[in-house]
A = this chain, B = another copy of it.
């Protein structure tokens, strides 16, 4: 509608206008009462900056490395399902934007675009593959092989979804994919249409293994040379277990508030995880990142990088690859700004001393 798009929230509003109700609600909603969905955002507002001045911020470098790969800034794209619902270009557009911004795109295994297409389109760029461990282990293993062959640089195993969270919108809407869109990686049919039943929930229950346990992680580590990252950690003890089972990274995440409602925000779990990991693997975070200041806060509390889920979808829905690119660009510029005004010139400068708890007395 011609409005200038300056912030992630602007993209959210624009996407809301543009998307079909069913799709919008699928993307935007959280599980049950959406307590965790809200907490993910609120948690960021509970920290405020205590900036330093007069350090000379003319030269800034916001690039970093993630599992050894260069990224232009510590923001990646989280795996989210079914991008063709947002835009006909689907996951290809998202991957293109990530490549252009020199950061990592994590492809969901619920993709509506094939792994081959993604891999061939932007060669040489680091990208990750998100895996649900399926009931069918042979097929699971084929997916791992496939990801290796196609040059994906890491396997992200999502562990917070032995069952799909209850998202009432999807149940009420009878959420499903339209006939012309398919799950190009997992295959099978994900149709909706029955009020009172989420097509995704049914599909998920049929495919994904709810017996998943640490021995499956050990198995995955044993069958691949790719670094394995577990996504969906809240407790420090689980992060320590991940390290012990050979994982190279953990994503502190509650699946964007879509799985266990009333769970702690991911930000509030971060310090505990960082303390348990003790530098033995890389710690990432997703959930509620909407501002450069959010990125700074997560890094100050110990994350190596963050991932964004919905913001990329809002960009994609609004303007395809350009929208995703702009969303990333906005966060990039905001991070530069927030670092400059906090008196940090490199990512390594960011630490806990820049944060204080909002409203706390004495200061914390």
Contacts and interface: CB of A to CB of B under 8 A. Distances in A.
A98 B359 CA distance: 34
A58 interface: yes
Interface string A320-364: 000000000000001001101110000000000000111111111
Contacts of A234: 49-53
Specify the main secondary structure of chain A where it touches its partner.
loop
B49 A159 contact: no
Contacts of A212: 54, 56
User: Copy number in this complex?
Assistant: 4
Contact of A263 (B49, B214, B233): B49
A235 interface: yes
- Sorting the interface of chain A by its residue count into under 10, 10 to 19, 20 to 34 or 35 or more gives 35 or more
Interface stretch (A20-28, A183-191, A264-272): A264-272
A276 interface: no
A344 to B, nearest CB: 11
A167 to B, nearest CB: 11
A172 B4 contact: yes
A361 B361 contact: no
B56 A338 contact: no
Contact of A261 (B195, B235, B293): B293
A182 interface: no
Contacts of A217: 54
15 contacts: A7-B32, A32-B293, A35-B45, A36-B48, A39-B48, A47-B262, A51-B160, A53-B230, A54-B214, A56-B213, A58-B210, A163-B340, A163-B341, A261-B293, A262-B291
